[in-house]
Amino acid sequence: MEDNILKINADVRTQANEIMNEYSGETLARKQFSPEKIDIFNASHTCLEALEEYRFLKDTEAERMLPGIINNPVQQVIIDPDPDDNAKTQFSKPRNIGVVFSGGPAPGGHNVIAGLFDEMKRFNSQSKMFGFIKGPEGLLENRYIEITAELVDYHRNMGGFDMIKTGRTKMDSGSKMELALTICRGLNLDALVIIGGDDSNTNAAFLAQHFKSSGIKVIGIPKTIDGDIQVKTDESKVLCATSFGFHSAARAFAQNISNLANDGSSDIKYWHVCKVMGRVASHLTLETALQTHVNIALIGEELADYVDQERMAKSLEQGGQVDYNAYGITLRHLSRVICDIIVRRAAFGKNYGLMIIPEGILEFINEIQVFITKLNKIIADYNRIHDLDFHRAFPTLNEKLDYLRRISQGLVGKDRFPIWNVRDDELFNQLPGFFREGLLVERDLHGNFQFSQVKTEKIIMDMVKEYLDVLREQGRYKVGILRDDYVSLMDAAGMDPELFAPALFKNPKEKYVLVKPDIISLKTLKLALVNAGMLDAEDEIPQIFINIFRKSQAEFNIQTHFYGYDGRGTDPTCFDCCYAYNLGLTAFHLIAGGATGQMAAIINLEKDFHKWQPAGIPIARLMHLEERKGRLELVMEKSIVDLESNAFKVFKAIREDWVAACECPDRFRNPGAIGFSKEMEEDRPLTLRLNALQS
């Protein structure tokens, strides 16, 4: 190989290098793009104005643990038209600022650093920025680099967190926070900016409390592709409509899913089942559904809110008692809902389709959530009591199941009413082996069930397949045949299509004809023809009728896809480039204004750019107690899909059109690839645009 390379002449080598350049034209354009700045950031000086009208409930545990920042108000960045000399000196003094990526990557992270860096240097060229390598772990291990203009320029508008890497280490002890403080003091930091999700902003709040007496400011940045960082006041005023990275990931997923729509519509034999990230909330599923108009999109929050009205009415009629089992959808009922759409589409010749499900859909299924909650508690208690890891102590599924069985029989512990009872054991053992094993997988660092490690789509689709088999045997799941095709086939075979149609089809005059429900085999096909007087009992079935029967037989074939890491690593949209850059600018102005324990935010993000307002939101007021690893911990609250929002209401109103179970073309929408033209790109996510509509 090397000998062949050496034989290439210099001119060819030069041309080859140009062709193989790592920078495409698109990449070069990205690196040179300058995001638009909110007009306030063109001012020579700003200050912070407290917005006391924005109120939040105050969690008593947050008040106890975060007394130094719990009373922070919402602060908006405003132009300071007439700063005095002291204000000018303080604002423009040289600063050392540390920055940390925390948690999974999200498109736009590099632009947060770019915005912060540019603004820091604009006001004082002597200021320095230090990036801690591999996230909080680097902070605790004092591993950092000085971030330079060259480094920032290399990563502008590009995806990933590779500038300084990221990590998931938690600041979950006083000793860790004290070590972090020592390291920040050693670098003479004025501020630390933590770019991350809800857990990372929780870290930021506790660090802000711990650092407060030192004078080192701590600012959080809302990052997560899941879109579950959204902030509303007690009066439902939206202060943070979404996190950066959400739009880019949704667009990346939507483009891939749109490609599958093209594929499915071409070979018309597969249902493509797409699982997208979103453990606790279904924001990505909703946004990608709005982007693509898929046939089925399951919103977990809606399933959790489900009430079986038929079952409820029946129970009230029979005994006047409320049947509480009617609340919350079951896996079995969910499979029936999916099957109904599949069967209806097949009747119009569309035995294919596109479905999106959120990664954490099982968390919204009541029967599964009960198992998860109980198993989380059992695992956490075992780890605490025995000072051993449950998964190391019981490495195989059978060993885990045996331990659960002993709990249900009262052989472990002395509880009169064990958390895992005989009924739990019976129901759990009815689940498929791979699913039971999935429910017992090792929890993540935060004690959460790792839905991404469970083949959620397999669990649901196996139940769908099982019920479709029943419907097929009942003659209810059949593929509709275009009547014109039937006529052509019959004419080619020398048969009278009008004569035989009533014997074969239940709707012989319609555009798509369906073979009668009682014709489910060649034997029943012959019987139908004999009973109609079209065939003698001793005759063989003509091949044309066998061909038509086989065309009507429905086979359910699926292809499964998981969209997550590809969306985390995609290049940011223009929206996320601009949003993230302005978050970086906001972070600097919060620091310069003396804020700490605040999360940088853009109020009016759901509106046109000229209405955007930079602000700081008190993280402590967003905290609440949540069960983690079997015990309550103070964490930042996640936001789930609001079923009363415009975006969901619009989705709910038009999704039946997307099913396209009729004599109509499919409604699939192609959102296009992520480009880099402000004229062609969406200016913000569709969910934000819909939610901004005035009712």
Kindly list the structural domains of the chain, giving each domain's residue range(s) and its CATH number in brackets, ordered by start.
36-77+93-244+574-622 (3.40.50.450), 258-470+644-691 (3.40.50.460), 480-552 (no CATH)
Mean pLDDT of 322-339: 81
With 90 as the cut, is the pLDDT of residue 351 above it?
yes
Residues 22-59: pLDDT tens digits? 778 788 888 889 999 999 999 999 999 999 999 998 89
Q: Which residue in 458, 486, 276, 477 sits closest to 360, CA to CA?
A: 276
Transcribe 6-40 into DSSP letters: HTS-HHHHHHHHHHT-S--HHHHHHHH--PPPPGG
pTM here is 0.90
The whole-angstrom separation of Cα 503 and Cα 526 is 10
Please work out, in degrees rounded to the nearest 5, the angle formed at the alpha carbon of residue 543 by the alpha carbons of 537 and 548. Answer: 105
Q: Residue 414 — very low, low, confident or very high, per pLDDT cuts 50/70/90?
A: low
The whole-angstrom separation of Cα 427 and Cα 165 is 44
Enumerate helices (H) and strands (E) in the chain, giving the number of each: 29, 19
Q: Which residue in 246, 202, 254, 217 sits closest to 116, CA to CA?
A: 217
Q: Residue 450 — very low, low, confident or very high, per pLDDT cuts 50/70/90?
A: low
With 70 as the cut, is the pLDDT of residue 238 above it?
yes
Q: What is the pLDDT of residue 88?
A: 92
Q: What is the pLDDT of residue 21?
A: 73
167-181, 258-272, 345-359, 376-390: lowest mean pLDDT where? 376-390
Q: Tell me the average pLDDT of the chain.
A: 91
Q: Tell me, what DSSP letter sits at residue 569?
A: T
Q: What is the pLDDT of residue 415?
A: 67
Q: Please report, for residues 304, 308, 311, 333, 567, the alpha-carbon distance to residue 321 in angstroms, rounded to integers and kept in the order given.
A: 22, 15, 11, 22, 48
Instruction: Output the 3-class SS for 400-421.
Output: HHHHHHHHHCCCCCCCCCCCCC
With 60 as the cut, is the pLDDT of residue 446 above it?
no
Residues 71-124: pLDDT tens digits? 999 999 999 989 999 999 999 999 999 999 999 999 999 999 999 999 999 999
* Residue 138 φ/ψ, nearest 5 degrees: -65, -35
User: Which is more confidently placed, 330 or 520?
Assistant: 520
Residues 470-509: pLDDT tens digits? 999 999 999 999 999 999 999 999 999 999 999 999 999 9
Tokens of 155: 């990563």
User: Which is more confidently placed, 198 or 412?
Assistant: 198
Q: Residue 629 — very low, low, confident or very high, per pLDDT cuts 50/70/90?
A: low
Which of 226, 228, 571, 576 is labelled catalytic?
A: 226
Cross-strand bridge partners of residue 628: 631
With 90 as the cut, is the pLDDT of residue 307 above it?
no
Q: Tell me, what DSSP letter sits at residue 73?
A: P
Q: How far, rounded to the nearest angstrom, does the alpha carbon of residue 406 sit from its chain's CA centroid?
A: 37
Cross-strand bridge partners of residue 358: 276
Q: Residue 144 — very low, low, confident or very high, per pLDDT cuts 50/70/90?
A: very high
- Catalytic, 226? Answer yes
Q: What is the pLDDT of residue 22?
A: 72
Mean pLDDT of 164-168: 96
Q: What is the pLDDT of residue 542?
A: 96
The whole-angstrom separation of Cα 474 and Cα 479 is 14
146-160, 220-234, 249-263, 669-683: lowest mean pLDDT where? 669-683
**In angstroms, how far is the first alpha carbon of the chain from the final one?**
68
> Are 273 and 338 within 8 A, CB to CB?
no
Mean pLDDT of 201-212: 97
